[in-house]
Each structure stands twice: as structure tokens, then as C-alpha cells.
Amino acid sequence: MKIRRFHALQESYIMKKNKKQLSYEGLAWTELIISSPSDYADYVDGLAAIIKKHSPTETQTLLHLGCGAGVYDYTLKNHFQVAGVDLSKSMLKIAGKLNPDVAYTRGDMRKIRLKKTFDAVIIPDAIGYMTSVKDLRKAIRTACRHLKNGGVLLIVTHLNEEFKENNFVYTGEKGNVRVTIFENNYITGKNEYEATIVYLIRKKGKFKVYTDVHKIGLFSSSLWNNLLTERGFSVQRLPAADIYDRFMLAEGEYPQVMLVCKKSKHESQR
Ligand SMILES: C[S@@+](CC[C@H](N)C(=O)[O-])C[C@H]1O[C@@H](n2cnc3c(N)ncnc32)[C@H](O)[C@@H]1O
């Protein structure tokens, strides 16, 4: 028992050394055990409605940066012709199976250039992986480069001044696999928190424990405003639905906001 446990923890260490997140590589398969597209369908329909409402023309094409396992894309494609970008090969493999009709590309939201523009771009629940102002600026630049003039960029994020520490638990099972995931969010610095994730996985009755640590950037609303306006966006802030609150342990809060950013109709590509 001890040896197997050590082996699993060691695996987590090796993944980190290679700068890959265990959650999004070796354990990406757990995504569709703990959630399914239907769990998020109403929320994603709401995101689509906001994009359509704020777009000056009909929104046909949409780029999802940090698309993960394609859980949101499953619903987004009812509204738009969707393209997705993610850093993780394993997440994209799952996304491709779930959404064979979506164009997925592996890439980094700080650097990727698809040589194509879209009516809308979204970054829900992934921009936190930008842990420095430099990286955040690069990701916003990528979004802007891929957006048609007059188009809408929708970002779902935390704001530094509102973020609270908290704990979550997610569970799911499929066949003879059971997964329990604990997540502890702990503020480690002025502009960063750490999500420590512990996976309890039982496959055919055999038990393993894995750990992963994610560093997440926290930026103030004024910094967000500055970075978005310097790229020519006009920004409207809306409250984001509390979609994760049902997984929260004990008392807690996980406030997120939606930044609806409109690109100028006459903005040149910068
Ligand atoms: C929590 S998942 C969110 C997935 C999806 N947006 C959703 O809401 O279901 C975060 C995703 O961001 C991706 N990611 C992290 N850093 C990235 C980067 N620099 N460029 C592209 N994707 C990135 C991870 O691989 C992961 O799949």
C-alpha cells in the first residue's frame, strides 16, 4: 500500500518537473468522470446569450482559448462554429472525441497565431494560468489578434480584491472507476493563489492517491481594465454564475466575474 502510494506521488513530482500539470495530462481522463456537458449546458447557453447580446452583428464563429476537455464546447457548438486551443495534448484528445466537429489546435494562449479571425473569443476558467502581468498581456493580445473588429471577447476570471480561500470536493464514477477530488485554494502571494488538488482514485477496487499543484494569478479590476483598454477594448463587468458553489465544502465563496470586452469597430491589428 505504502509503495503504491509513494509511486503515485512520485508520478506527480515527475509531471511537475516536466512542467506539465498532472490534472491536464496523466489525469485528464478524470474530467469526464466528475462532470458532463449537460451539467454546464445552462451556464454555457447563458455565455452564448451574453456574447450574442453584445455583438453588433450576427456571431457565427467563436474561438475558445484554454478549451480543456471540450465540456463547454459541446454546448457552444449549438450556437457557433467553434474552434478550440489548449496547451494539453490529453485534454485535446478528449475534446476531439467529444466534439469531432470542432477544430482543435494545440497551442499556448500567450503565443498561438491561427492566421484566422473570429466573431467572438472566450476564455472561461483558464486565464488564471497567466501568473504574471507580462503573460496576461500576451494572452489578451492573442485574443485581440484573433477577434474581428467589433467582436466580443468574454473572459471569466477572479478579481484579486474579491478572491477568498476555499475548499472543494468533486466526485464521480463510471464502470469500476471511482474518483474523488479535493481542491484547496490558498493565497500564497499578493498576486497569486495555489490550488492544491488531491485525487483519490479507485480502479477495480485498487486505490491510488495523486497530488497536483496549480499556480493561479490574481489581478485587480483596475489592472484588468488597463490591460484591456490599452488593447482597444471597452469593458463591461458582469457577475458570473456560481456554477462551482455546489462543490464547495463548508462555508465559502468563489466569486468570479465576467468581463465582456468589445473590440473597436475600427481597431487595427496591433
Ligand atoms: C480548468 S480548464 C478549463 C477548460 C474550459 N475552458 C472549461 O471551462 O471547461 C483550464 C485549461 O486551460 C489550459 N491551459 C493552461 N494554460 C494554458 C495556456 N498557456 N494556453 C492554452 N491553454 C492553457 C489547461 O491545459 C486546461 O485544459
Per the structure, how many domains does the chain have?
Answer: 1
CATH label of the domain that carries residue 52:
3.40.50.150
Give the cell for residue 140: 489578451
pLDDT of residue 268: 53
**From CA 208, how far away is CA 212, in angstroms rounded?**
14
Q: Is the pLDDT of residue 91 over 80?
A: yes
Q: In what order do the strands lie in the sheet with 177-189?
A: 166-174, 177-189, 192-203, 206-217
- The secondary structure of residue 250, as a DSSP letter, is S
* Each residue's pLDDT tens digit, 180-189: 999 999 999 9
Indicate whether 95 belongs to any domain. yes
Q: Is the pLDDT of residue 14 over 50?
A: no
Domain range for 104 is 32-159+219-263
Its pTM stands at: 0.92
Average of per-residue pLDDT across 31-60: 95
Confidence of residue 270 (pLDDT cuts 50, 70, 90): low
**From CA 121, how far away is CA 61, in angstroms rounded?**
9
Indicate whether 24 belongs to any domain. no
Please give the distance, rounded to the nearest whole angstrom, from the Cα atom of residue 213 to the centre of ligand 1. Answer: 15
**CA–centroid distance for 93 within its chain:** 16
Q: Name the closest-CA residue to atom 15, ligand 1.
A: 129
Q: Is the pLDDT of residue 164 over 70?
A: yes
Per-residue HEC secondary structure of 7-34 comes to: HHHHHHHHHHHCCCCHHHCCCHHHHHHH
Q: Which residues line ligand 1 (CB under 6 A)?
A: 24, 66-68, 71-72, 85-88, 91, 108-110, 124-126, 129
Q: Which of 18, 32, 87 to mutate to test the pocket of ligand 1 (most atoms within 8 A of CB)?
A: 87
Indicate whether 250 belongs to any domain. yes
pLDDT of residue 4: 39
Indicate whether 187 belongs to any domain. no
pLDDT of residue 16: 46
Q: In what order do the strands lie in the sheet with 233-239?
A: 103-106, 81-86, 61-65, 118-124, 147-157, 257-263, 233-239
| Strand residues in 79-176 grouped as ranges (E) | 81-86, 103-106, 118-124, 147-157, 166-174
Q: What are phi and psi of 140, to 5 degrees?
A: -65, -40
pLDDT of residue 266: 74
Indicate whether 131 belongs to any domain. yes
Q: Name the closest-CA residue to atom 27, ligand 1.
A: 68
The answer for 96, left when phi > 0, alpha when psi is -120 to 50, beta otherwise, is: alpha
Give the cell for residue 84: 478550440
Indicate whether 37 belongs to any domain. yes
Q: What is the mean pLDDT of the chain?
A: 91
Q: Which of 71, 75, 122, 129 to mutate to test the pocket of ligand 1 (most atoms within 8 A of CB)?
A: 129
pLDDT of residue 20: 76
Please give the distance, rounded to the nearest whole angstrom, from the Cα atom of residue 24 to the centre of ligand 1. Answer: 8
Confidence of residue 15 (pLDDT cuts 50, 70, 90): very low
* Each residue's pLDDT tens digit, 98-152: 999 999 999 999 999 999 999 999 999 999 999 999 999 999 999 999 999 999 9
Please give the distance, rounded to the nearest whole angstrom, from the Cα atom of residue 252 to the centre of ligand 1. Answer: 24
User: 77, 43, 49, 53: which is closest to 63 by C-alpha?
Assistant: 77
Indicate whether 155 belongs to any domain. yes
Q: Is the pLDDT of residue 54 over 80?
A: yes
pLDDT of residue 2: 39
Q: Is the pLDDT of residue 3 over 70?
A: no
Average of per-residue pLDDT across 190-195: 95
Give the cell for residue 215: 499556480
Indicate whether 177 belongs to any domain. no
Q: Name the closest-CA residue to atom 10, ligand 1.
A: 126
